[in-house]
Copies of this chain bind each other. A is one copy, B any other.
């Protein structure tokens, strides 16, 4: 069952993402979660590319991933996001569910910080934006 989330994105496995084991190569889950975070930001009016152009770079400091079941060629899936703030860190809780049976296939916790011209920064833009959405 798909748990409630702040944002979700439905995607489909692309065959080139599968490796010689016939399943989605693990590194692609990192791609999926990154893409979901960027689409989440976009849905709130923030472009990752524009942030970079303006000197702000959100970066991942730490990431924990659990691979529960493999996605395969043809699978559609739902990638979800929840978010909490700890000090200057934004921690994204990101799950992936197979669409066909809503089985949880992947969970992750992604700890990010924002750099401003390369230095750690308490990005007020994101803080204000997420003020009402952050879990406590």
Contacts and interface: CB of A to CB of B under 8 A. Distances in A.
A64 B111 CA distance: 11
For A21, A42, A52, which residue has the most chain B Cβ atoms within 10 angstroms? A21
A31 to B, nearest CB: 5
Which 9 pairs from chain A and chain B are nearest by CB? Answer: A49-B73, A27-B30, A18-B20, A14-B35, A27-B27, A64-B64, A20-B22, A63-B65, A15-B38
Contacts of A48: 15, 73
Interface in A33-73: 34-35, 38, 42, 47-49, 52, 57, 59-67, 70, 72-73
Q: Count this chain's copies in the assembly.
A: 4
A5 interface: no
Interface in A69-128: 70, 72-74
A133 interface: no
A49 B19 contact: no
- Size class of the contact patch on chain A: 35 or more
A68 B67 CA distance: 23
B52 A74 contact: no
Contacts of A38: 14-15
Contact of A74 (B27, B30, B49): B49
Given A27-B28, A27-B30, A74-B47, A21 B62 contact: no
Nearest to A51: B21
